[in-house]
Amino acid sequence: MPSKTQSRLRIVLEPDIAIGPGKADILEGVRDTGSIAAAGRRMGMSYKRAWLLVETMNACFKEPLVAASRGGKSHGGAVLTPVGEEVLRRYRRMEALSAKAIAAELRGLKRLLSDMSN
Amino acid sequence: MPSKTQSRLRIVLEPDIAIGPGKADILEGVRDTGSIAAAGRRMGMSYKRAWLLVETMNACFKEPLVAASRGGKSHGGAVLTPVGEEVLRRYRRMEALSAKAIAAELRGLKRLLSDMSN
DNA sequence: CACCGATATGTTTCTCGTGACATAACGGTA
DNA sequence: TACCGTTATGTCACGAGAAACATATCGGTG
């Protein structure tokens, strides 16, 4: 198997408030599944935890990233707002740009790893 | 004051084994101070924790990043090995490259933050 | 040989985050 | 009105990880 070496990008908005791979995956999950609960399940995460992450994200942007509704025909659900779509798109783009920018250096670093690590 | 928004880069070598800002700062501290204890103090970190991080890093590369010695005229100390210097240099460079690559997107993201966050 | 400051390592204590569980509300449908 | 699946929220117990504390060792110097 190829090496698992990868980079992870975390954007720190405030001390203790950041957006990283986890929150981005939640946004993506909400977009794909239409519900916070299903997004959480897909990641093996409790609904409560997923909801907590959504609440945090909604709080630190000007407008909510996720709009949730209860009851109704669909038994409730959640969708990304335009801002939510934009944040997700920007984050994924930053991930890609970062990975591309450091690819060469990363290969150099990988050469120094112990044999067990690749 | 200007916004604290920033990016952080974490390189994941193995699941649960990574190098991020903390370990890089330790390497830098050892290089600057000549001891693990002083590097830890400078970061407000216990010697034990600093030493643990060094041990982990030394274990997952082909050669140690930090060479420590006990006793002697200088009462012991630690220095970066050539490999340690290289890892630090590469990591700092990756940080810089990543930050530069995402700068524009980051500004875009920042505009979406709530007023409290800038 | 006592002392120094650093490395090296074990043990114990505590804290915080997490998981697990419980409950209520919502607004549709059968 | 009973039921559905979801959102929304509270409480509590537990465990992993960190802090705190305790030694032992090293190899020089006074």
Structure confidence at residue A15 (pLDDT): 78
Helix/strand/coil (H, E, C) string of B61-102? ECCCCEEEECCCCCCCEEEECHHHHHHHHHHHHHHHHHHHHH
Amino acid identity at B111: R
pLDDT at A17: 82
The reply to whether the CB atom of residue A49 sits less than 7 A from any atom in nucleic acid chain C is yes
What's the whole-number mean pLDDT along residues A68-97? 97
Inform me whether the pLDDT recorded for A114 exceeds 60: yes
The pLDDT of residue A89 is 98
The residues of A between 6 and 45 with beta carbon within 7 Å of nucleic strand D are 35-38
Helix B21-33 and helix B47-60: axis angle, to 10°? 100
To probe the interface with A, which of B83, B94, B116 has the most A CB atoms within 10 Å?
A: B94
Question: Is the per-residue pLDDT at B9 higher than 60?
Answer: yes
* Structural domains of chain A sorted by starting position, each given as residue range(s) with its CATH number in brackets: 17-117 (1.10.10.10)
Q: Concatenated DSSP letters for A3-71? A: ---EEEEEEEEETTEEE-HHHHHHHHHHHHHSSHHHHHHHTT--HHHHHHHHHHHHHHBSS-SEEEE-S
- As a whole number, mean pLDDT of residues A88-103 equals 97
Q: pLDDT digit string (tens) for A25-52?
A: 999 999 999 999 999 999 999 999 999 9
Mean pLDDT computed over every residue of chain B? 93
Q: Check if residue A78 sits with its Cβ under 7 angstroms from strand D.
A: yes
Does the CB of B69 sit below 7 A from strand C? yes
Say yes or no for a CB contact (<8 Å) between A112 and B61: yes
Measure the CA–CA gap between B16 and B14, rounded to whole angstroms. 6
Between strands A77-80 and A66-69, the pairing is antiparallel
Q: What is the pLDDT of residues B62-115, one digit of tens each?
A: 999 999 999 999 999 999 999 999 999 999 999 999 999 999 999 999 999 987
With CA atoms as reference, report the closest residue to B5 among B112, B92, B118, B108: B118
pLDDT of residue B117: 58
